[in-house]
Amino acid sequence: MRLTDYFLPVLKETPAEATIASHQFMLRAGMIKQDSAGIYIWLPLGLKVLRKIENIVREEQNRAGAIEMLMPTIQSAGHWKETGRYDAYGPEMLRITDRGDRELLYGPTNEDMITDMFRSYVKSYKDLPKCLYHIQWKFRDERRPRFGVMRGREFLMKDAYTFDVDKEAAVKSYNRQFIAYLNTYERLGLKAVPMRADTGPIGGDLSHEFLILADTGESEVFCHKDLVDMAAPGDVSDGDMQAVVDSRTSLYAATDEMHDADEFAKVPADKQLSARGIEVGHIFYFGEKYSEPMKASVQTADGKSANIHMGSYGVGVSRLVGGIIEASHDENGIIWPKAVAPFDVGIINLKSGDAEADAACETLYSQLKAAGLDPLYDDRDDRGGQKFARMDLIGLPYQIVIGPRGLKEGKYEVKDRKTGEKQSLTPEETLTFITAQF
Ligand code: ATP
Ligand code: MG
């Protein structure tokens, strides 16, 4: 993409309403624009990142055997009345009436709808287990929308739902999602720690939140240091799943709501970590909570009827855009992990209009594209300082600077955005180096 052809409305000043780094940088880098409280326009640069995150989440769900579908954003109140949640949900739910005075709502989550869908087709244990998911916009009329996309009112979520014949089978489905989450966050360049979570009025002990550690997180967290350093498990066979989950859940990790100071004191002092965290996922086994009131049951192998055991599994896709920035930035701007960067590499032309500089940039730009990379070419007629600042702000993993001085010696300058390391390379070396990074 040539910058002169693109739509990248970068701001010089930090908007006063933004108090944390991710919100400030997303506004300044032209990724989002607020339309009303907690509701954002995703500008081209922001949308590219959102889509990359969404795709990684999707690939890992598919790898875990989940099946993608798409439910609507607008739901009928009927499903929610059946489960009793229509009244229980409270003012966070956006309630709507249509022209025929029918009660609708903008979905904050989809358990009720999917249970209704599933029960109308599936009647036998032979069709279980199943895991269905979608990646869809949600609306929650949050009391305090803040921190940009981190706590929006409209936000993008991946929500998966599992259907099993009994608790034992449901725990396997839960473990499979647990492992998929570890793999997903690692691919996003994040260290997310699974923590025991409150199951609320439903009871039971099977719920985990996944949190990334960042000073600006809304939750106070306590965990065993080793959890932060564990590598993701990758593909895990059915027989090994429980051991992989246990290797995490046996180490202490809890948010303040679930924190037990006496238990935490048993963690060796040099392994105790108390920090702040951002919730980027939440998984939940809730058994018959919806299948019971909605009479979603199947015939079992011995000819009896049993309520389906269900779980739900959320990933905050749009929150992750902000979360990744909180975990990876410096004073000059964003530092994108390669997997989610909006472009792979930036080319800075220090003398746009100069025949030699233009030709060198154009050649490199075409070569990078031919190599399958996605370069952003700053071909604007701005001062060098402005170009450097803008490129640092938007945080592409590599920058290639081409200007008359370097060209005299046949060299380009290649900068690693993360380490700040600069190398002076020939055009051939530049191409070899950059393509080797992806
Ligand atoms: P929170 O405690 O942060 O309000 P929650 O527990 O209500 O979140 P869940 O119902 O567990 O949220 O939703 C699944 C995921 O969706 C969360 O882990 C979070 O990453 C994301 N999410 C929830 N609410 C918001 C929001 N208002 N804006 C952006 N992402 C959100
Ligand atoms: Mg939650």
353-398 pLDDT, tens per residue? 999 999 999 999 999 999 999 999 999 999 999 999 999 999 999 9
Q: Which ligand is nearest to the CA of 322?
A: 1
Is residue 108 within 8 Å of 92, Cβ to Cβ? yes
Task: Please give the Cα distance from 73 to 116 (Å, whole number).
Answer: 16
Q: 28, 32, 67: which is closest to 47 by C-alpha?
A: 32
* Whether the predicted pLDDT of 276 surpasses 60: yes
Is residue 317 within 8 Å of 54, Cβ to Cβ? yes
What's the Cα-to-Cα distance from 29 to each of 48, 53, 305, 319, 394, rounded to whole Å? 13, 18, 56, 17, 6
Band (pLDDT 50/70/90 cuts) for residue 438 is: very high
Band (pLDDT 50/70/90 cuts) for residue 2 is: very high
- More confident call, 45 vs 199: 45
Q: Which ligand is nearest to the CA of 210?
A: 1
Band (pLDDT 50/70/90 cuts) for residue 202 is: low
Band (pLDDT 50/70/90 cuts) for residue 138 is: very high
The reported pLDDT for the residue numbered 387 is: 98
Q: Taking residues 275-295, report their average pLDDT.
A: 96
The reported pLDDT for the residue numbered 199 is: 72
Instruction: Take residue 342 and report the two structure tokens written for it.
Output: 């909006």
Q: Taking residues 18-45, report their average pLDDT.
A: 98
Across the strands, what pairs with 223?
Answer: 253, 273
Band (pLDDT 50/70/90 cuts) for residue 205 is: low
Distance 247 CA to ligand 2 centre (A): 22
* Whether the predicted pLDDT of 222 surpasses 80: yes
Q: Taking residues 386-413, report their average pLDDT.
A: 98
Band (pLDDT 50/70/90 cuts) for residue 197 is: confident
Pocket test for ligand 1, best of 50, 92, 157 (most atoms within 8 A of CB): 157
Treating both helix axes as pointing N-terminal to C-terminal, what angle do 317-327 and 21-28 enclose, rounded to 10 degrees? 100
Q: Which ligand is nearest to the CA of 211?
A: 1
What amino acid is encoded at 229 in this protein?
A: D
The reported pLDDT for the residue numbered 203 is: 56
Instruction: Take residue 63 and report the two structure tokens written for it.
Output: 């790898």
144 DSSP assignment: S
Closest ligand 1 atom, residue 210 Cα: 18
Q: What residues are neighbours of ligand 2 (ion), with CB under 5 Å? A: 282
Closest ligand 1 atom, residue 150 Cα: 29
Pocket of ligand 1 (CB under 6 A): 109, 140, 142, 151-152, 155, 157, 279-282, 314, 316, 318-319
Distance 197 CA to ligand 2 centre (A): 8
Task: Please give the Cα distance from 65 to 59 (Å, whole number).
Answer: 10
The reported pLDDT for the residue numbered 198 is: 80
Closest ligand 1 atom, residue 323 Cα: 20
Residue bearing the CA closest to ligand 1, atom 18: 281
- 239 in the Ramachandran plot: left (φ > 0), alpha (ψ -120 to 50) or beta? alpha
Distance 381 CA to ligand 2 centre (A): 47
Distance 272 CA to ligand 2 centre (A): 24
Give the tens place of pLDDT for each residue, 320-361.
Answer: 999 999 999 999 999 999 999 999 999 999 999 999 999 999
Distance 281 CA to ligand 2 centre (A): 7
Instruction: Take residue 57 and report the two structure tokens written for it.
Output: 């989440």
Distance 316 CA to ligand 1 centre (A): 6
